[in-house]
Structure 1
């Protein structure tokens, strides 16, 4: 091919030395696009690097670098003693796509739209873990977001000291792949803690370290549910659980919540052979009900007789202000039907992304395999530091301090609501957790109030968003754990202005 023709058809516009992009990169891009577009046909011989450099007015090194890149990516090839040619079979799928489109245009054929997602992929994409919101809004310190601990009160200096000490004594072997079930010393600490604080009956072998409770929910659903299986779920319910179950193909069976928790008899009447039940018995999310002992025993009896599984999500049981934390449902289980899930997101900090699952003995190997298939194992250093934090009693002290702080902040919120809201809103004190439920009068809709509140600088969540089927309560979820007295009072003033 004549180099002047190459210059006119291939490299116009000319290379721009002032563009900030290296000349060899510009030349590479021009030639690559020409090859894909067919301007340089397959099999055509290219000018020598010396000739092309003289024609373009650049150094030969520039052309050589461009040719080397094209050669490495499979766009051109060289023949010893003959020259350099455009590859006949190109690596890019782009060329085949262009040919298909051209063929469709020439024949008048309308090519069917691509289906990028599998059926399971569609279910995953359609699932929702939390109310949709922009992340730049989430990070703002704005009352009354729920589920956020008092991050300003966390002992980060101590945490960094523990991390630095670990880094100082870390071994080369710690940088390799590790047990998918997690760091054994951490599993030992968790097992001891759960036995004493939550009445969970387990050994360290049953503990599987997860990337937060959401991964535990997801893996449990993937392992134990086939598409179309009925699964009981609390109504209202935690969106993360709903998302994990829907993405596994489960057929959700909404079971109402009353003053004693999940209405087990109604669940049996609707779907007696459901494959699984998801519950938050110690502190129902989002209403806050505690499941009564009779309901717990009825649920366990049903699971045993039906051969079904129970997912017990114990997300914030550490924060109970009346008496000791309630014993877990798993501790009452005699048949091995309960899968217990816990997290450090509420008691330490969400960015840690560490949670755990207590597997029934017969499922240990399956959960270990599932954990390995998901992402091999959790971050080793984070597990080590968390182990030290627990083993040196910092964890227990931090929980006690936060329990006292959160109880105080709830009282501040209730008093601020009494002063600012008057009779417009009914807020009852909560015996546990990090949020309270504000009941609105019938003339107001919680979704509209939440939208208006956002414009006034208040982040509240409408409780109706958590319902699937049953008539929803009309109220707002108010988180208080992350906010000091001034922030709570200012937030309540803004909420009062919204209601007016």
Structure 2
């Protein structure tokens, strides 16, 4: 048997795809032309080699496959004769544009779709910062160039000690969280942290409260694990534990976003926070505090985390670097009480083993070097400009009521009850504005009508243009 080999010198010279890697084995003796013809034909029919692709020169392919050029020329001639390829004088041989693919009638091979750019106003988009990205690239390259031993063996399911210590120091200073490295788990985002908690500490059929309206992905994490959810209305002071106890007395947990409620944007008052902590202590229940965008506060110091007020160990604290840096980093964290930590680590070790040590190492250096703090200062200035441009674009629009947010990365626009927000979402999309309907985030109570609009990740000019286009569309519709 003659196996595939590759001639790097020829590959570099021709700068063409190495088809020899796709042709599995050619017979050492016998009809090599037939074998090569059949192998290339299968690749073309399966769509592995797409229509219009250029075949390598016959001399180069023969050298790579260690066969005679005569055999390759004969195979190419058969492909042309059978309609699988076309020969162009002076250019070479190409895969035909109209080759029928195997199984194309039942299972068409769709072209690879490019990721659509999100419309201005879309939630969950981070703002790129070139200075931060340049520094992060340097840090990653440094760890790749001089990798340390922890990159070459399986690590701690909690995450690397260096990053956990760095996160703990950051949270103690910036958020007033009571923690050390031993109580932190590095996750692939807030959603994983929430899912690990629910699967570890609750069982199907257990009841839990959730803010109403709520963060839809949090609702999915609970309901996807068989938890009975009760929406508790959010007012100007946040979620009311007395109201929750009346609606579902035996709840085992509550999910809240107290620093900046999603999607209404209100902050839970101190009396409500203390009352909720007391409810959890008295009922042996858990509070899941999602502190998703606490770093982005535009007036006054950041609000202290609820976890820092809890002396009974009933609060699970979740945070993420997705909003701060970029979602593609996929690093978040959970601060867990002792009882929760043991079960979460056991589950994490079975399902995800341990986080990426390479990304952890670079992020640790980024934080310790003061680069994250500098990034946040720049990001807040950018977010303030983006927020103000969004408000300016919407200002004066008929039927819309706005409150300037002092924290976070989204704006809530409330509507007259006679206007359906789902209809306005479609109007907005038709003019290039990616808003979300507030009514879709309702849980148990009658849905409120409003638009939830993100201003992170987009230039002030793009946000103003999109918002102004919606305002003009609303005037034409006389809403």
Q: Same fold (TM over 0.5)?
A: yes
User: Paired residue for 1:22?
Assistant: 39
For these two proteins, the number of residue pairs brought into alignment is 377
User: Paired residue for 2:449?
Assistant: 474
Measure how far apart 1:361 and its partner are: 2.0
Measure how far apart 1:153 and its partner are: 5.1
User: SS where residue 155 of structure 1 aligns?
Assistant: helix
Structure 1 stretches lacking a partner, 5+ long:
1-15, 27-134
CA contact (8 A) 1:154 1:348 kept: no
d(CA) in 1 for partners of 2:220 and 2:473? 31
Measure how far apart 1:18 and its partner are: 9.2
Measure how far apart 1:491 and its partner are: 0.6
User: Paired residue for 2:104?
Assistant: none
User: Paired residue for 1:444?
Assistant: 419
TM-score, length-normalised on structure 1? 0.72
User: SS where residue 232 of structure 1 aligns?
Assistant: strand
CA contact (8 A) 2:320 2:331 kept: yes
CA contact (8 A) 1:207 1:358 kept: yes
Aligned match for 1:374, one of 330, 351, 362: 351
Aligned match for 1:351, one of 298, 316, 328: 328
Measure how far apart 1:171 and its partner are: 2.7
Measure how far apart 1:137 and its partner are: 9.2
Measure how far apart 1:393 and its partner are: 0.5
Distance 1:171 1:469, change over 3 A: same
CA contact (8 A) 1:449 1:498 kept: no
Aligned match for 1:342, one of 306, 313, 319: 319
User: Paired residue for 2:146?
Assistant: 169
User: Paired residue for 1:38?
Assistant: none
The CA deviation string for residues 325-346 of structure 1, in whole angstroms up to 9 with x for no partner, is: 0000100101100000000100
User: Paired residue for 2:9?
Assistant: none
The CA deviation string for residues 261-307 of structure 1, in whole angstroms up to 9 with x for no partner, is: 00211101122221100000000001101000000011000000100
d(CA) in 2 for partners of 1:152 and 1:139? 21
d(CA) in 2 for partners of 1:21 and 1:176? 44
Measure how far apart 1:20 and its partner are: 5.2
Aligned match for 1:194, one of 171, 180, 201: 171
Bigger Cα Rg = 1
CA contact (8 A) 1:272 1:306 kept: no
Measure how far apart 1:348 and its partner are: 0.7
User: Paired residue for 1:32?
Assistant: none
Q: Is residue 2:474 matched to residue 1:496?
A: no
- RMSD between aligned residues: 2.3
Measure how far apart 1:363 and its partner are: 2.4
d(CA) in 1 for partners of 2:239 and 2:286? 15
CA contact (8 A) 1:273 1:308 kept: no
TM-score, length-normalised on structure 2? 0.75
d(CA) in 2 for partners of 1:136 and 1:259? 44
The CA deviation string for residues 32-91 of structure 1, in whole angstroms up to 9 with x for no partner, is: xxxxxxxxxxxxxxxxxxxxxxxxxxxxxxxxxxxxxxxxxxxxxxxxxxxxxxxxxxxx
d(CA) in 2 for partners of 1:411 and 1:24? 59
Measure how far apart 1:309 and its partner are: 0.6
d(CA) in 2 for partners of 1:448 and 1:17? 61
Measure how far apart 1:22 and its partner are: 2.5
The CA deviation string for residues 350-384 of structure 1, in whole angstroms up to 9 with x for no partner, is: 01110000010232222221211121011110011
User: Paired residue for 2:376?
Assistant: 399
